[in-house]
Structure 1
Amino acid sequence: MAKQEIREPKQRRSIEKKQSIIRASYKLFSDKGYYKTNTVEIAQEAGVSTGIVYSYFQDKKDILFEVIKFYISSLSEQFQPLLNTPIKKDHMPIVIEKFIDISIASHTMNAEAHNEFFALSLLEKDIFTLFNDFENSLLSELYELLVSAGFSKINLLEKVRISYGIVEQVCHDYILQKQTREEFDIAKLLAIDIIVALLNNKI
């Protein structure tokens, strides 16, 4: 069976319709889950007909792909102020703390979406690739920022990747409420100390 022709909107009204479908899908996938949401519900939430949905998207998985890109774009925006600001070596503890705080905020801006999309990334290779590309892009920007600050390039990308893993663990422990506030504060300070030492070749 041949796939239907999908049009790419060019006029403002058409672009807004497609965006409303993506936002409606984002809400429903977060609230109900991807597998429990159908295109009729998406159309109703977006205020369009089902036919309009299928004029912009091949199927529900095609919608999901665009929703994930929308979500990743939102994550990326959270980090841009930090990534666009030059840093100094002796300010690294402050920079790392800001990065941890932004990471926690980005994880919790929609916890339901984060959990749903992370689970889907384990099942769908295309979605995993989107998140992996986002992570690689983020790490590349961090690498360039650190090089500009005067850090040695030797094994730097590997150090950045390990540091990112440490930050992710701190974030997940916070989200899952595995610690008291005091324990979290201690874990955060330890993470900062470890990352600073790693970047400065002290461990």
Structure 2
Amino acid sequence: MEKEKKIQERTILNRQKILKAAKHLFNVKGYYHTNTKEIAKEAGVATGSFYNYFPDKLSIFQEIMIIHLERNVADLCELTQNLNEKPDHAKAAIIKYVHNGMDHAFENQVMFQDFDSILLANPELNKIIGAFYDKIITGIYDFCKDSPHVIKRTANPLVMSQMAYFLVQGTSELMAKLPEDVDKREYEEQLAQIVYWYLFDN
């Protein structure tokens, strides 16, 4: 029993090391310029044993993206809960949400540059990402429909939820392309102001 426990712990640890190494290399070299041998070396595991944990590079990328999207869903749930429970602090909560999301996007900027082409080449991964997108839109939809604090700008909460999502997503993509030396904090604050106005302000 103790031996099995140690094997399980080592498996979890090695998977985490591989994911961390892959994420680092994807963000330094890009997905297409990184190979599994480099990932194994960076993670400190033998190339041969690497395939005991992941069948290929794509499966690692998929797991990294799932972790990223699960965090996005969790952050959104936390935001909508805060907006409902503390509407007086809505603006600050939105600014924090946008800032944290952009920080994470900038950390993974190089990796995300390959994102669209990877999805096009891998329909199954596209389905997985699409399911997370649906979950995010559903969360915003339920919030727009049920929250007593949201200004009902249209009778259709789906329109509002999609507009709110694309306001954040579209502006975030713009900010991600700005030069590194540009102060992005003002962009984040402006985005938060716009989202706050759209959802809460007459």
Q: 1:190 to 1:83 in 2, by over 3 A?
A: closer
Q: 1:160 to 1:98 in 2, by over 3 A?
A: farther
Residue 46 of structure 1: CA displacement? Answer: 0.9
CA distance in 2, matches of 1:54, 1:185: 41
CA distance in 1, matches of 2:121, 2:64: 16
Residue 90 of structure 1: CA displacement? Answer: 6.8
* Offset from partner CA, 1:49-94 (integer Å, 9 cap, x none): 1121111222222222223223333444544532442526676555
**Matched residue count:** 191
CA contact (8 A) 2:18 2:40 kept: yes
Q: In the TM superposition, what are the counterparts of 1:150-161 in structure 2 within 5 Å? A: 150=148, 151=150, 154-161=155-162
Q: 1:96 to 1:53 in 2, by over 3 A?
A: same
Q: CA RMSD in A?
A: 3.4
TM-score, scaled relative to structure 2: 0.73
CA contact (8 A) 2:27 2:111 kept: yes
Q: 1:60 to 1:177 in 2, by over 3 A?
A: closer
1:15 corresponds, among 12, 24, 30, to 12
CA contact (8 A) 1:30 1:113 kept: yes
Query: Which residue of 2 is the match for residue 101 of structure 1?
Result: 99
CA distance in 2, matches of 1:71, 1:182: 22
* Offset from partner CA, 1:151-171 (integer Å, 9 cap, x none): 569411221111111111222
* Offset from partner CA, 1:75-133 (integer Å, 9 cap, x none): 44544532442526676555544443343233223222232334423443233333322
* 3-state SS in 2 of match to 1:55: coil
Q: 1:80 to 1:106 in 2, by over 3 A?
A: farther
Q: Which amino acid aligns with 2:112?
A: H
CA distance in 1, matches of 2:177, 2:193: 19
* Range with greater deviation from structure 2 (183-192 or 39-48): 183-192
Q: 1:182 to 1:62 in 2, by over 3 A?
A: closer
Query: Which residue of 2 is the match for residue 111 of structure 1?
Result: 109
2:31 corresponds, among 19, 30, 34, to 34
* Range with greater deviation from structure 2 (75-84 or 111-120): 75-84
Q: In the TM superposition, what are the counterparts of 1:75-86 in structure 2 within 5 Å? A: 75-86=72-83
Query: Which residue of 1 is the match for residue 176 of structure 2?
Result: 175
Q: 1:177 to 1:29 in 2, by over 3 A?
A: closer
TM-score, scaled relative to structure 1: 0.73
CA distance in 2, matches of 1:85, 1:186: 18
* Offset from partner CA, 1:148-199 (integer Å, 9 cap, x none): 4225694112211111111112222222228886984785377336623xx7
CA contact (8 A) 1:170 1:187 kept: no
Query: Which residue of 1 is the match for residue 3 of structure 2?
Result: none
* Offset from partner CA, 1:14-56 (integer Å, 9 cap, x none): 1111221122111112211222111111111111111211112
| Runs of 5+ consecutive residues of structure 2 not aligned to the other structure | 1-5
| Runs of 5+ consecutive residues of structure 1 not aligned to the other structure | 1-8
| Identical-pair percentage | 25
CA contact (8 A) 1:143 1:157 kept: yes
Q: In the TM superposition, what are the counterparts of 1:134-173 in structure 2 within 5 Å? A: 134-150=132-148, 151=150, 154-173=155-174
Q: 1:116 to 1:185 in 2, by over 3 A?
A: closer
Q: 1:177 to 1:33 in 2, by over 3 A?
A: closer
